[in-house]
Chains A and B, each alone.
Chain A
Amino acid sequence: QQPVQSPQAVILREGEDAVINCSSSKALYSVHWYRQKHGEAPVFLMILLKGGEQKGHEKISASFNEKKQQSSLYLTASQLSYSGTYFCGTGQQGAQKLVFGQGTRLTINP
């Protein structure tokens, strides 16, 4: 079953912060986060594995709440280059495949 992302879209000014959420109805082993620019391939941001950890990548970080079957992606002091559509992909224990959310479109204005 497809994870649910929220919000579906968000518009920010450069320098503002954003949070994107990803919720699943199933127990999760992994959560992947990707960013896709229009017409291009998704680019990997980070993976979080079962264990409730938090990871960081420059000014982009994420958390994974295993109990709530949720992950959140945090973008701080957003830059114009952060614009794009963000997807979470969720994986279950023992499964090879991912199931992706519908995406969150992030627009950063100057």
Chain B
Amino acid sequence: DGGITQSPKYLFRKEGQNVTLSCEQNLNHDAMYWYRQDPGQGLRLIYYSQIVNDFQKGDIAEGYSVSREKKESFPLTVTSAQKNPTAFYLCASSITTGGSGYEQYFGPGTRLTVT
């Protein structure tokens, strides 16, 4: 079955530690995205990538880093510089880099709690 996998579903970390969230897709999609969702709020774009070895900052990139070494994988690292990292993180992909006219498919999300 094609889809997007995020692991783990729940993640707990101590303040001051970096943590990496996994996102893998087998849909052969070119574009991948990371969003952050806080309770009762919409989705805010952290980073996105249109092609391997290239990525762009979204609206709230500070305190986060990404890599895109393979088409299928787009891991997100939440660094200790992120002031309020506790949130629900969603990874998404879309078939093409040809603009915003294509559906985004979402993974199941990772709920990160930092104490």
Cα distance, A39 to B110, chains bound together (Å): 10
Contact partners of B41 in chain A: CB under 8 A: 102-103
Cα distance, A74 to B29, chains bound together (Å): 30
Q: How far is the CB of A92 from chain B (nearest CB, A)?
A: 7
Q: How far is the CB of B61 from chain A (nearest CB, A)?
A: 12
Is there a chain A Cβ closer than 8 Å to B31's Cβ?
yes
Cβ < 8 Å to A, chain B residues 75-97: 88, 90, 97
Interface size on B, residues (CB 8 A): 29
Query: Is B42 a contact partner of A41 (Cβ separation < 8 A)?
Result: no
Please pick, from A92, A94, A98, the residue contacting B104 in the complex, using a CB distance under 8 A: A98
Q: How far is the CB of A24 from chain B (nearest CB, A)?
A: 12
Contact partners of A34 in chain B: CB under 8 A: 106
Contact partners of B58 in chain A: CB under 8 A: 97
Contact partners of B102 in chain A: CB under 8 A: 47
Query: Is B100 a contact partner of A97 (Cβ separation < 8 A)?
Result: yes
Contact partners of B111 in chain A: CB under 8 A: 39
Contact partners of B99 in chain A: CB under 8 A: 29-30, 91, 93-96
**Mask for B2-42, Cβ within 8 A of A = 1, else 0?**
00000000000000000000000000000101010000111
Interface residues of A (CB under 8 A from B): 2, 29-30, 32, 34, 39-44, 47, 49, 87, 89-103
Interface residues of B (CB under 8 A from A): 31, 33, 35, 40-45, 48, 50, 56, 58-59, 88, 90, 97, 99-109, 111
